[in-house]
Amino acid sequence: LSDNRRASDSLISQMPQKPLLKPGKKIEKKQAANRHGKTATTRKGKFEKPPKKSNELVKFNEQKELTKYINANNESNFATIAQQKGGKLKALNAPPPALAPKDKLKKKGKAADDAAKDSMSEDDE
């Protein structure tokens, strides 16, 4: 075995190595086949995916509730400090329905329409 290995090592070291590309040329990356001409969308913000294990899911939900409480508390504290100094502090929430994207309004509108129809049918009975 050692003689064969030495022979193959000597052959490998003597074989000429040719460059993969000509000088000045670059490898161009191909577009992903499943994109079909669509551009890549950049997602912003923090992605919070709940864990799949039940005990870790409980911890995750508790931590989320604690974070909500702390944020609300901090917000109210800063608002009172701002009012004491004569100013106003308003927390910006989600945009009003007029400024929300159209596709979200349609989904919400359909759900609201269905709920209204259900309540009207119950009133008729």
Q: Which residue is associated with the tokens 């590309």? A: 21
- Write out pLDDT tens, residues 36-61: 888 888 888 878 889 999 999 999 99
Query: Could you give the CA distance from residue 64 to residue 72 in angstroms, rounded to a whole number?
Result: 12
Q: Alpha-carbon distance 20 to 25, whole Å?
A: 10
In the structure, what pLDDT confidence band is assigned to residue 72 with cuts at 50, 70 and 90?
A: very high
Residue with the larger pLDDT of the pair 6 and 85: 85
Write down the pLDDT at residue 124.
47
